[in-house]
Chain A
Amino acid sequence: MLIYTLLAGLLFGLYFSLMGLGLNLMFGVMRIVNLAHGDFLMLGAFLAFWLFNLFALNPIPGVAVAFALFLLAGLPLYYLLVPRLLAARDPEMLSFILFFGFSQVIEAVATIAFGTSERSIPGGSMARAAAAVASLLDLAYRPGPIAFLGQSFPVAWLAAGIVSALAVLLIYVYLYRTRLGYLTRAVMASREEAISTGIDVHRVSAIAFGIGIALAAVAGVFVPFMLGSITPAMGVDVTITSFAVIVIGSLGNPLGTVLGGILYGVSYMFMQSYYSSWANLLPYLLLIAVLLVRPSGLLGRQVRRA
C-alpha cells in the first residue's frame, strides 16, 4: 500500500508538473497570470476526444497534434491580448481579470459547441498504443495494467508520467540549450534590460505564450485517464490545482514546477489513501502553508531565477 501510494503519487506528480509547467512559463516570461489555463487544458482534452472519435486517432500521437495546433493558435492570441495588457498601469493584477474574462468566454463557447454532457476516451486506447510501442522496441507486452516494482498501474498513468517527464526535459533543453531559450531566460530575468539589449521581446514572449498554451493542451490529452470525464466547466479546478503546484515549486521558475508537482502528487495520493474525506482541502492548505513559510516557493532563492 505504501509503495503503491508513493509510486502512484510520483506518476501523478509528473503529470501535475506538466499541468503547471505552461502556466509557470507564462508567468515567468510575461509576469501575467493566466486564469484561463485550465480552460486551454479542457480544450486540449476535447481535441483528443474528437480526434479519437472522428479520425480514430490514438491519444498518444494526438499529443503531437495538440501541441502543434495550440502553439500556432497561441501566437496570434498573444499579439491580440498581451501587448495591450502590458501597457496598462498594473498588468499583473489586471491579467487576473482579463484572463478570468477569457476563461468565461472559452467555457461559454465550449458549452455552446459541445453541450454539458461528460465525455471520456476508453482506456483500451492507451493499452493499444503501449502495445505498438512495445512491438517497436521488441519488448514483450500483453495489453493490461503494467507491473512495476511489484505494483500494477494502469498503462495510461505510466504514459502520462512518461510524456510529462519528456515535456519537462524538452522545456529544459529549450531554455538552456537553444538560442531562443537563452533569450527567453534573459526576458525572465529582466524585461526592461532585455528590451534595451535589443532582444525582440514580443517575439520571445509570443513563443513562450504559445508553448505555455500548447503544454496545457498536451496535459489535456490525458485528462480522461488522470482526472475523470471531460466537461466544459472543468477548467476552474484545473487552474487552481496548477496554481498550487507552481506556487509550491516557485512562481516564475519553470523547473521548480517539477518539485512542486511531485510534492503535490505524492501528498495528494497519501490524502486519498488515508484521509480521503479531506483530500479536496489539500491543495489550498499546502498552497497557503508554503506561501507563508517560504513566500517565494520552495526553490525561490536557492536556485537562480531561470
Chain B
Amino acid sequence: MPRLLRHALFILVPLIAALAIAPAVYGNHLLLFNLIVFMTLAQGINIVYGFTGYLPFGYVGFFGAGAYGFSLAVMHLHASPFAALALGALAALLLGLGLTPLFRLSGAYFAIASLAAALAVLQIVSNPALEHITNGPYGVSLSGVFDPSLAYAVALAILAGTVLLVIWLRNARFGLALQAIREDAISAGMAGINVVRGRVIAWLLAALIAGLTGGVYAWYISVFYPETVFSGEVTVFAIVFALFGGTATILGPILGVAILYGIYNAIGISTPQYFQLVYGLLIMGLVLFLPNGLVSLLRRRGVDVP
C-alpha cells in the first residue's frame, strides 16, 4: 500500500470519524468546534513554518480576514453561508497575495512584518471611521445564518481537506522540495527547485486554510468583536500547538492540539491570570526543554513518525 494511502487510512479517517461522532457523546459542542479550528490552524502553521521555515507571527490576519469576508458578504450581499465562505477565503487569499513581498524578508524581519500586517488589518477593520461598512469596534452579529451543526460539519470538512493536504506534502516531491528550501534556499535553488514559487504556494495554501477556518468560525460563533477574530492568541496558540507536537509531520500538530488544548481546558478559565501564568510557563518549558516537539521523543528512539 502506498504511504500516502496508508497515512490517509490510518490517520485521517479515524481522526475525522472520532470528531464526527464526538458531539453525540460529549456535551460541550463549542469546545469540540474550537478543537477542530485549532487543529486546522495548527496544520496551516505546519505548512508555512514546518515546511518552509517562515514563522508568520501574524497568521491570525488571514483568520480575521476570512471571518470578516464572511460577515461582510452576509451583512451587505445577503449571501448564503457557502458563498460567504468562498468570499471569506478569497479575502484571505488576496491578503496573502498582497503580503507576498514580505518573503523578501527573512527570519525575525518576516515574523515582525507579518505581525504588523495583521495588526494593521485589525486597526482598519475596527476603525470607527468605517462603522458603516464593518460596524467598527462594535463587532458583527450574523444571527440570520446561525446554524452550529452545519457549521461544525463544514469545519470538519475543512480539517479533512487540510490534513489531506499535509499528508500529500509529507509524501510528495513538492513537500520535500519545500523542506529543502527551508534547510538551505540557495542549495535548493541550485538543485533546480523553484524557490519563490514553492514558498508562495505554501504561503497561499496556509492563507486559504486560515481564511476558510475564519469564515466557518464567524458562521459558528455568529456574534463577535474585531479583537476576537484578530486576537494574537490565535496565532500563538496555533504555533505552540504545532510546535508542541512537532512540525513537518502529519501527526505532530494533531497530537499537540489534542493534548495541549485538553490541558488548557482542564486548567479552567475561572481565574484568567492564573490560567495565563500556567500557560506562559508551559510555553517557556516547551521551548527550553522540548524545542522539536513530542515527536522528537519518538524519533530519538528510532521510531519513524508520519
A interface with B by C-beta (< 8 Å) = 27, 31, 33, 81, 84-85, 88-90, 92-94, 96-98, 100-109, 111-112, 236, 240, 243-244, 247, 251, 277-278, 280-281, 283-285, 287-288, 291-292, 295
Contact = CB atoms under 8 A, between A and B. Distances in A.
Contact of A84 (B113, B117, B288): B288
22 contacts: A88-B287, A96-B55, A98-B288, A100-B283, A102-B284, A104-B279, A104-B283, A105-B277, A108-B274, A108-B277, A108-B280, A112-B274, A247-B112, A247-B113, A278-B127, A281-B120, A283-B116, A284-B120, A291-B102, A291-B105, A292-B102, A295-B109
B153 interface: no
B101 interface: yes
A251 to B, nearest CB: 7
A112 B55 CA distance: 32
Contacts of A278: 127, 129
Nearest to A97: B287
A96 B108 CA distance: 8
Given A89-B292, A277-B127, A285-B120, A101 B281 contact: yes
Interface stretch (B11-19, B195-203, B236-244, B253-261): B236-244
B161 interface: no
B57 interface: yes
Given A93-B53, A97-B240, 11 more contacts: A33-B111, A81-B284, A93-B55, A98-B284, A98-B287, A105-B280, A106-B280, A247-B109, A277-B127, A277-B129, A295-B104
A97 B243 contact: yes
B124 interface: yes
Nearest to B54: A93
Contacts of B187: none
A101 B123 contact: no
* Residue picked from A90, A93, A236, A292, most chain B C-beta under 10 Å: A93
Interface in B258-296: 273-274, 276-277, 279-284, 286-288, 291-292
A281 B124 contact: yes
Contacts of B129: 277-278
Interface in B96-146: 101-102, 104-105, 107-109, 111-113, 115-117, 119-120, 123-124, 127-129
Contacts of A109: 277
A279 to B, nearest CB: 10
B148 interface: no
Contact of A104 (B57, B109, B116, B276): B276
A84 B232 CA distance: 26
Nearest to A284: B120
A94 B291 contact: yes
Nearest to A105: B280
A89 B299 CA distance: 15
Q: Is the interface of B mostly helix, strand, loop or mixed?
A: helix
- What are the 4 closest A-B residue pairs judged by CB atoms, nearest first? A101-B283, A104-B280, A105-B280, A284-B120
B284 A101 contact: yes
A90 B53 contact: yes
Contacts of B281: 101, 105
A101 B243 CA distance: 13
A292 B117 CA distance: 12
Given A94-B287, A295-B105, A284 B119 contact: yes
Given A93-B55, A105-B284, A243-B112, A100 B236 contact: yes
B287 A101 contact: yes
A238 to B, nearest CB: 14
A288 B277 contact: no
B69 to A, nearest CB: 20
A215 B102 CA distance: 30
A112 B273 CA distance: 7
A88 B127 CA distance: 41
Contacts of B274: 108, 112
A96 to B, nearest CB: 6
B6 to A, nearest CB: 28
A263 to B, nearest CB: 16
Given A93-B55, A104-B280, A284 B104 contact: no
A187 B288 CA distance: 23
Nearest to A93: B55
A6 to B, nearest CB: 25
Nearest to A111: B273
A240 to B, nearest CB: 7
Nearest to A116: B273
A93 B107 contact: yes
A211 to B, nearest CB: 20
A97 B276 contact: no
Contacts of B287: 85, 88, 94, 97-98, 101
A285 B287 CA distance: 31
Contacts of B232: 236
A89 B117 contact: no
A293 B49 CA distance: 25
A274 to B, nearest CB: 15
B53 A103 contact: no
A104 B278 CA distance: 9
